[in-house]
């Protein structure tokens, strides 16, 4: 693959991934090659490679004879995902606190600073999450566990976090004005810098579970399953 083709493939993958995680391509939506090529201007090979990468990340599903679709969301899946994230990210965070150095601490502080100052909403008419905030939020959570020396734990945590971004988009629409997400992030940073593993993992778990509960509250408040809710 030429350098130009590689760059174009990366651009298609990044735009497709951002549109899924921001909710512009809804959970469960089909992803026909022709429509994606028209939308992103890439070749069929670039589209296919981007989709395969997203399948590996767990946010796109490949179905024999049917093609690709965005992974669907459900209350049961969210419960399983949240439990897995609490366990895996909590363990990775404990290891990071044990082994992280000054450079690791500095990256956490820088990531938290950038996240706090990045607008959450985009300028789109549908007020979806901005690509910048999605990136800043990902960087922050990656920074928290970057000090963990176990590469497999970090990789699993990253994959689970990507899957959770779909739920984050919908939970944002249910959040109460009183929820102070920046304060939640700040408390985690303070606990990590104090090397208080018990408190840091407790705060992380509370943070993850609150997001899940907001989504479930939104679903139950409509009296409809998630699949119906997403058609709004």
pTM: 0.76
Query: What is the chain's mean pLDDT, rounded?
Result: 84
The CATH number corresponding to 3-70 among 1.10.10.10, 2.40.30.40, 1.10.150.530, 3.90.1200.10 equals: 1.10.10.10
pLDDT value, residue 125? 54
pLDDT digits (tens, 9 = 90+) for 52-92: 999 988 889 999 888 999 988 888 888 999 999 999 999 99
3-70 and 75-229, same CATH topology: no
For the chain, give every domain's residue range. Answer: 3-70, 75-229
CATH class of the 75-229 domain in this structure: mainly alpha
Strand partners, 61: 69
Q: Give the best-scoring range by mean pLDDT among 104-113, 176-185, 205-214.
A: 104-113
pLDDT value, residue 157? 94
| Rounded CA separation 167/169 (Å) | 5
Q: What is the DSSP string of 207-232?
A: HHHHHHHHHHHHHHHHTS-HHHHTT-
């Amino acid at each position: 693959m030429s350098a130009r083709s590689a760059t174009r493939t990366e651009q298609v993958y990044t735009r497709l991934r951002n549109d899924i995680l921001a909710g512009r391509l809804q959970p469960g939506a089909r992803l026909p090659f022709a429509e994606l090529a028209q939308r992103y201007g890439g070749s069929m090979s670039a589209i296919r490679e981007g989709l395969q990468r997203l399948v590996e990340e767990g946010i796109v599903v490949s179905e024999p004879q049917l093609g690709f679709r965005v992974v669907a969301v459900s209350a049961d899946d969210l419960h399983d995902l949240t439990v897995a994230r609490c366990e895996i990210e909590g363990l990775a965070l404990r290891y990071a606190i044990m082994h992280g150095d000054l450079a690791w601490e500095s990256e956490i502080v820088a990531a938290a600073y950038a996240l706090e100052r990045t607008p959450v909403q985009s300028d789109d008419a549908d007020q979806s999450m901005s690509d910048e905030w999605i990136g800043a939020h990902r960087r922050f959570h990656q920074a928290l566990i970057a000090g963990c020396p176990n590469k497999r734990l970090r990789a699993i945590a990253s994959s689970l976090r990507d899957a959770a971004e779909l739920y984050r988009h919908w939970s944002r629409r249910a959040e109460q004005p009183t929820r102070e997400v920046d304060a939640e992030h700040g408390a985690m940073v303070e606990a990590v810098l104090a090397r208080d593993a018990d408190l840091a993992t407790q705060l992380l778990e509370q943070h993850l579970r609150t997001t899940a509960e907001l989504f479930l509250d939104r679903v139950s408040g409509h009296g409809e399953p998630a699949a119906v809710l997403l058609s709004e």
